[in-house]
Amino acid sequence: MNDGPFIAQKLIPQRAPPVLRRGPLAFVMARLLNSPTNILLTLASIALLYVTIVPAVRFLLVDAVWHGTDRNACLVENVGRAVGACWPFVQAKFTQFVYGFYPADQRWRVNLTFALGAALLLPLLIPRVGGKVINAALFFVAFPIVAFVLLVGIGGNTLPIVPTRLWGGLLVTVVVSVTGIVGSMPIGIALALGRRSTIPLIRVFSIAFIEFWRGVPLITVLFFATYMLPLFLPGNFNVDGLVRVLIGIAIFSGAYNAEVIRGGLNAVPRGQAEAARALGLSYWKITGFVVMPQALRHVIPGLVNSFISLLKDTSLVSIVALFDLLGQLRASFADPAWATPTTLFTGFAFTGMIYFVLCFGMSRYSLFVEHRLNAHRRN
Amino acid sequence: MSSANPIVAIAGLNKWFGEFHVLRDIDLAVGRGERIVICGPSGSGKSTLIRCINALEEFQEGRIIIDGIELGPNLRRVDDVRREVGMVFQSFNLFPHLTVLENCTLAPIWVRHMKKKDAEAAAMQYLERVRIPDKANSFPGQLSGGQQQRVAIARALTMTPKVMLFDEATSALDPEMVKEVLDTMVDLAREGMTMLVVTHEMGFAKEVASRVVFMDAGQILEANTPQEFFAHPQHARTRLFLSQILR
């Protein structure tokens, strides 16, 4: 352009951005092999994948033994080749992994509970399905009562009482983590609000409560709940061991959630509450309709982080004689009928996959929710 | 500074932020239908003053009486007062997770206990009044600054306030959008709404204000009709301020 006055003669229409190359080969050339450093990194990555994926596939699939009735099926001298995963072991112990020592003729109650829970949870998780209020009421209020009656029983012939010490496996893992997650949220919200309260007594109590529970290891909490609490409670007042553990875990992770939620509350601009106050809304309505919904949206990643860590921490209950999935697995290793060199690896690989599916599922779902709720922010 | 039968009466108002004396002996009476423009340098306490009227700030001494309801230093009867007073903020403060329509029906439904249908019908009327009914189902983040501020005005109006407070309502807007918001405010003034407006828009003051109040260092230094205020400023500090903002 020359110096001096300038007047545009026409408006420039929008056009598509230039695309240099398309296709997989172009992608590889442009992203993976475009400089000596990247070529080196690509080779190193391929080598890394080779040394991790190939043995894993070989162990889990290629060399694996698929059929058999006892350890003999998985011994090298009987198979005549290298032996990988011993899947018959998992088949044989599968019911134990799921139900623990829950009486075999009563296992339909566990199945029914799982089915009911899934039937109520799935529509709750899918945004397009309507009736969320009724659905939530059923899942959070009615379902726990039904599940309790079904799993524990009411005595008699139809629903004989199954003491919780017979529960185990995936049942315990799911019960502990679902109650922990659902129970820790209201505790976390209440403590987060309490810590921001202008009333000193509530604030000090909340701070002390949060710091106490965050400062104590979960193992200590579980030990205390299981072995020491009964000593302090009056003799005729006995709470079931599993229930004590559930309460301990809910409070413990509630204290963590409180700090996550408080971070979200701090991220909501002050003007939001002020505008709501100027409209005449009360504290609880401001919190419920304006501040808390925004705060929770901010902290979905943090909350799911603590849910995932809670799910995996449930394996700690095995030290207080509750046999969760991992505890059940370790118990099954003691069975001499399945003592083979690869039993241990097979078992851990199997339970590892179950934990991974559960955690990865939560993680993906939280991403989905995050994108959906934050749609309004992407202008 | 008195008006017969004032709707807002402030007497001997003093406020401190810690040691800082932010409002000093404020006396101000606003008549029904009056439009007061409050101007002054930043930090002069003008925002704090109108935030006190809506009980967003506590104060230590003095009285504020709004439509016969006294707001004492201990801020009792806050809810009664807030129902009478609407407020528009510099930063809009729309609720980002709610649609425009939901922003405008939240308080009518939960404070005035209106039915959802009635609240929505009323909200649509106010959105039409600020000329933005087509955005009812958008989220605030999808609107321009000027549109957001007009929604904020509509949201305040849904509570049918007797007094409207504007805290630098156009300061955060791009120049191109200031006019659409000012036009809305002028319309409101023409309809007879009692307004207290903190602003730097002297054109607005000249056009609609019944009185202009000049504040500095927490004190009201001068109050007059806009004609007199701009033509013959009396206080030396007023003259300095006007010479700096009117070039």
Return the residue of B nearest to A269 by Cα.
B93
pLDDT at B95 over 50: yes
Q: Is A279–B107 a contact, with Cβ atoms under 8 angstroms apart?
A: yes
**CA distance readout (Å), A239 to A50, A244, A245:** 53, 7, 10
Report pLDDT for A376.
Answer: 63
Q: What residue has token string 């309709």?
A: A289
Q: Does A270 touch chain B (CB under 8 A)?
A: no
**Residues sharing a CB contact under 8 Å with residue A284, sequence separation 6 or more, in sequence order:** none
Q: Does A72 touch chain B (CB under 8 A)?
A: no
Return the residue of B nearest to A378 by Cα.
B141
**Residues sharing a CB contact under 8 Å with residue B218, sequence separation 6 or more, in sequence order:** B21, B22, B23, B24, B44, B45
Q: Is A279–B95 a contact, with Cβ atoms under 8 angstroms apart?
A: no
Q: Is B93–A269 a contact, with Cβ atoms under 8 angstroms apart?
A: yes
State the Cα–Cα distance between residues A76 and A82, nearest whole angstrom.
Answer: 6
**Tokens at B173, concatenated:** 């807007």
What is the tens place of the pLDDT at every residue in A91-114? 999 999 999 989 988 999 999 999
pLDDT at A379 over 50: no
Report pLDDT for B1.
Answer: 45
Q: Is residue B47 within 8 Å of B215, Cβ to Cβ? A: no
Confidence of residue A155 (pLDDT cuts 50, 70, 90): confident
In 3D space, the residue among B47, B22, B23, A98 whose CA is nearest the CA of residue B11 turns out to be B23
Report pLDDT for A158.
Answer: 82
Return the residue of B nearest to A377 by Cα.
B141
Q: How far apart are the first and last CA of chain A?
A: 36
Residue B125's Cβ-side half-sphere holds a number of Cα atoms within 13 Å equal to: 9
Spell out which residues of chain A touch residue B157, defining contact as CB-CB under 8 Å.
none
Mean pLDDT (chain A) is: 89
Q: What residue has token string 């198979």?
A: A79
Give how far A272 is from chain B: nearest CA, Å. Answer: 5
Report pLDDT for A171.
Answer: 93
Report pLDDT for A25.
Answer: 81
**CA distance readout (Å), A117 to A137, A139, A207:** 13, 7, 35
What is the tens place of the pLDDT at every residue in B130-183? 999 999 999 999 999 999 999 999 999 999 999 999 999 999 898 888 999 999
Per DSSP, the three-state class of A293 is helix
In 3D space, the residue among B108, B3, B152 whose CA is nearest the CA of residue B65 turns out to be B3
Report pLDDT for B2.
Answer: 47
Residue, of A312 and A22, whose pLDDT is higher: A312
Per DSSP, the three-state class of A219 is helix
Confidence of residue B4 (pLDDT cuts 50, 70, 90): low
Give how far B138 is from chain A: nearest CA, Å. Answer: 8
Q: Is B94–A377 a contact, with Cβ atoms under 8 angstroms apart?
A: no
Per DSSP, the three-state class of B138 is coil
pLDDT at A220 over 80: yes
Spell out which residues of chain B touch residue A373, defining contact as CB-CB under 8 Å.
97
B86, B91, B107 member nearest A281 (Cβ)? B107
Confidence of residue A159 (pLDDT cuts 50, 70, 90): confident
State the Cα–Cα distance between residues A175 and A314, nearest whole angstrom.
Answer: 10
Q: Does A278 touch chain B (CB under 8 A)?
A: yes
Phi, psi of A351 (to 5 degrees): -65, -35
Q: Is B107–A289 a contact, with Cβ atoms under 8 angstroms apart?
A: no
pTM for the model stands at 0.85
Q: Is B87–A282 a contact, with Cβ atoms under 8 angstroms apart?
A: no
Q: Is A278–B56 a contact, with Cβ atoms under 8 angstroms apart?
A: yes
Return the residue of B nearest to A279 by Cα.
B107
A281, A377, A378 member nearest B110 (Cβ)? A281
Q: What residue has token string 């806009």?
A: B226
Give burial (CB, 10 Å; 0-12/13-18/19+) of B167.
Answer: buried
Q: Is B156–A282 a contact, with Cβ atoms under 8 angstroms apart?
A: no
Confidence of residue A353 (pLDDT cuts 50, 70, 90): very high
**Tokens at A75, concatenated:** 């011994």
Q: What residue has token string 């156009």?
A: B170
Q: Is B141–A379 a contact, with Cβ atoms under 8 angstroms apart?
A: yes
Per DSSP, the three-state class of B83 is helix
Q: Does A297 touch chain B (CB under 8 A)?
A: yes
Report pLDDT for A15.
Answer: 87
Confidence of residue B81 (pLDDT cuts 50, 70, 90): confident
pLDDT at A377 over 90: no
DSSP for B6-41, please give it.
Answer: EEEEEEEEEEEETTEEEEEEEEEEEETT-EEEEE-S
Spell out which residues of chain A touch residue B82, defining contact as CB-CB under 8 Å.
277-280
Q: Is B54–A278 a contact, with Cβ atoms under 8 angstroms apart?
A: yes
Confidence of residue A197 (pLDDT cuts 50, 70, 90): very high
pLDDT at A127 over 90: no
What length is written for chain A?
Answer: 379
Select from A279, A290, A299, A379 the residue whose CB has the most chain B CBs within 10 Å, as the one to mutate to test that interface. A279
Spell out which residues of chain B touch residue A375, defining contact as CB-CB under 8 Å.
139
State the Cα–Cα distance between residues B231 and B218, nearest whole angstrom.
Answer: 24
Report pLDDT for A5.
Answer: 85
What is the tens place of the pLDDT at every residue in A229-270? 777 777 666 678 888 889 999 999 999 999 999 999 999 999
The answer to whether the Cα torsion of A74, A79, A81, A87 is positive or negative is: negative
Beta bridge partners of B164: B86, B195
Phi, psi of A188 (to 5 degrees): -60, -45
Q: Is A281–B111 a contact, with Cβ atoms under 8 angstroms apart?
A: yes
Report pLDDT for B149.
Answer: 95
Q: Is residue A64 within 8 Å of A318, Cβ to Cβ? A: no
| Strand B163-167, strand B85-88: pairing | parallel
Report pLDDT for B194.
Answer: 94
Q: Is A293–B97 a contact, with Cβ atoms under 8 angstroms apart?
A: yes
Give how far B71 is from chain A: nearest CA, Å. Answer: 14
Q: What residue has token string 């009724």?
A: A134
State the Cα–Cα distance between residues B58 and B69, nearest whole angstrom.
Answer: 16
**CA distance readout (Å), B162 to A116, A252, B194:** 54, 50, 7
Q: What is the mean pLDDT of residues A125-129?
A: 87
pLDDT at A148 over 60: yes
Confidence of residue A276 (pLDDT cuts 50, 70, 90): very high
Residue type, B114: M
Q: What is the mean pLDDT of residues A34-48?
A: 92
Return the residue of B nearest to A276 by Cα.
B107
Quote the longest CA-to-CA distance of chain B: 55
Angular region, B34: left φ>0, alpha ψ -120 to 50, beta rest: beta
Give how far A305 is from chain B: nearest CA, Å. Answer: 23
Residue type, A94: F
Q: Could you count the other beta carbons within 10 Å of the beta carbon of residue A141?
A: 9
B91, B97, B155 member nearest A297 (Cβ)? B97
Confidence of residue B43 (pLDDT cuts 50, 70, 90): confident
Q: What residue has token string 């069975």?
A: A335
Per DSSP, the three-state class of B99 is coil
Confidence of residue A309 (pLDDT cuts 50, 70, 90): very high
State the Cα–Cα distance between residues A289 and A54, nearest whole angstrom.
Answer: 53
Return the residue of A nearest to B110 by Cα.
A281
Per DSSP, the three-state class of A232 is helix
Select from B97, B103, B147 the residue whose CB has the most chain A CBs within 10 Å, as the one to mutate to test that interface. B97
Q: What is the mean pLDDT of residues B24-47?
A: 92
Q: Is A275–B56 a contact, with Cβ atoms under 8 angstroms apart?
A: no
Chain centroid to CA B191 = 16
Per DSSP, the three-state class of A237 is coil
Return the residue of A nearest to B143 by Cα.
A379
Report pLDDT for A319.
Answer: 85
